[in-house]
């Protein structure tokens, strides 16, 4: 189901539709109408999962597809920043001959490939744009502990795009992530060992069979959940050691574990 309600700054809840039509607050909207419209727009589930959906926990995606949920628009600031970042780079790429940008990949699992750059001969470098905080980037660079999960998720995403793009005839020999640092040039970034505002980092090319089995398994799990209404608890890494349930899951109230962590009754 789509995002149903917004949490207002005055601690009330308002349906997204009502918020966009007319803000009842005397002081007016908390954000611009384009910002709220963009945040409140969610894609309906078509029956075929996306790559990013399958990288998320199955229970989380199942609940977001089947349950109405609320969101604080201010929590989407960095998502808007990332969208704008993509749009500007896409507009430039489309003016440069030989580049492939924003390539929509179809199959049993879908995805959108950000950029293909031609290399020597008939080979390509694939680049995915990211906007991360310095701490997450430091984990990807191996400068912080417990980064293995983040590194694997990034590699799985880009390799799945690679496999689908190669089925279209592109011979991809390099994978890169271009990461813009949200808190670049700040004390926190420097403390995390990040001294530039943008990084181009290499991503490992994984075995095709491993990648395909991962996404097939996750797709089957999501399909089963939608048919039976039953899901396994997100594993410890997917729950970020419990932090995700506490403040980073929009559907925690429908999950027994999420409700327990937040000390409330589970909703049906």
Whether 83 and 11 share a structural domain: no
Q: Provide φ and ψ at 114, rounded to 5°.
A: -75, -50
Considering only CA atoms, which of 65, 48, 62, 64 is closest in space to residue 216?
Answer: 48
Q: Give a yes or no: residue 148 inside a domain.
A: yes
87/131 same-domain check: yes
Residue 28, in any domain of the structure: yes
pLDDT at 90: 81
Q: Tell me which H or E stretch contains 202.
A: strand 198-202
Q: Is residue 223 part of a domain?
A: no
Last residue of a domain, one of 214, 241, 260: 214
Identify whether residues 26 and 89 lie together within a single domain. no
Domain-embedded: residue 244: no
Q: Say if residue 198 is in the same domain as residue 111.
A: yes
- Which domain range does residue 22 map to? 1-42
| Cα three-residue angle 97-98-103, rounded to 5 degrees | 110
For residues 110 and 187, membership in a common domain is answered with: yes
For residue 103, list its beta bridge partners. Answer: 113
Q: Of 11, 23, 131, which Cα lies nearest the Cα of 77? A: 131
Pair (203, 115) in one structural domain:
yes
Two structure tokens written together for 91: 């507009």
Residue 171 covered by a domain: yes
The verdict on residue 234 lying in a domain is: no
Last residue of a domain, one of 194, 214, 234: 214
Q: Hunting for tokens 């795009």 — which residue is that? A: 161
CATH number (domain holding residue 119): 3.40.1350
Q: Can you give the pLDDT at residue 205?
A: 98
Same-domain pairing of 129 and 176 = yes
pTM here is 0.90
25 shares a domain with 120: no
One domain for residues 23 and 85: no
In a domain, 106, yes or no: yes
Answer for the pair 245, 262: CB distance below 8 angstroms, yes or no: yes
Q: Which DSSP state fits 50?
A: B
**Residue 250 three-state SS:** coil
Which of 181, 199, 214 marks a domain boundary? Answer: 214
58 is a domain residue: no
Using CA atoms, how far residue 7 sits from 71, 235, 245, 257, in Å, is: 6, 28, 18, 23
**18 and 82 assigned to the same domain:** no
Q: Residue 120's pLDDT is what?
A: 84
- Do 6 and 125 have their domain in common? no
- What tens-digit pLDDT sequence spans the chain (268 residues)? 678 899 998 888 999 999 999 998 889 999 999 999 998 888 888 889 999 999 999 999 999 999 998 889 898 888 887 887 778 888 888 888 888 899 999 888 999 999 999 998 789 999 999 999 999 999 999 998 878 999 999 999 999 999 999 999 999 999 999 999 999 999 999 999 999 999 999 999 999 999 999 999 999 999 999 999 999 999 999 998 888 998 899 999 999 999 999 999 998 8
Q: What's the pLDDT at 67? A: 93
Q: Rounded to whole angstroms, how far apart are CA atoms 225 and 185?
A: 44
Domain count, the chain: 2
Residues 154 and 25 in one domain: no
């Amino acid at each position: 189901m789509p995002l149903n309600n917004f949490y207002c700054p005055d601690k009330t809840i308002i349906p997204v539709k009502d918020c966009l039509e007319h803000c009842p607050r005397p002081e007016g909207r908390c954000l611009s109408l384009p910002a709220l419209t963009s945040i409140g727009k969610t894609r309906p589930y078509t029956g075929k999962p996306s790559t990013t959906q399958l990288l998320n926990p199955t229970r989380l995606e199942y609940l977001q597809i089947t349950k109405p949920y609320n969101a604080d628009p201010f929590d989407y600031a960095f998502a808007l920043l990332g969208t704008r970042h993509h749009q500007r780079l896409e507009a430039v790429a489309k003016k440069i001959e030989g580049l492939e940008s924003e390539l929509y990949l179809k199959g049993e699992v879908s995805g959108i490939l950000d950029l293909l750059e031609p290399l020597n001969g008939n080979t390509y470098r694939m680049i995915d744009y990211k906007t991360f905080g310095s701490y997450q980037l430091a984990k990807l660079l191996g400068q912080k502990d417990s980064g293995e999960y983040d590194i694997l998720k990034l590699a799985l995403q880009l390799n799945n795009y690679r496999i689908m793009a190669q089925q279209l005839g592109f011979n991809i020999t390099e994978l890169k992530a271009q990461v813009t640092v949200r808190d670049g040039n700040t004390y926190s970034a420097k403390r995390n060992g990040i001294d530039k505002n943008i990084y181009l980092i290499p991503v490992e090319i994984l075995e095709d069979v491993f990648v395909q089995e991962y996404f097939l398994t996750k797709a089957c799990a999501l399909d089963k959940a939608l048919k039976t209404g039953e899901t396994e608890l997100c594993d410890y890494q997917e729950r970020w050691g419990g932090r995700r349930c506490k403040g980073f899951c929009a559907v925690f109230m429908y999950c027994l574990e999420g409700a327990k962590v937040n000390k409330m009754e589970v909703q049906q």
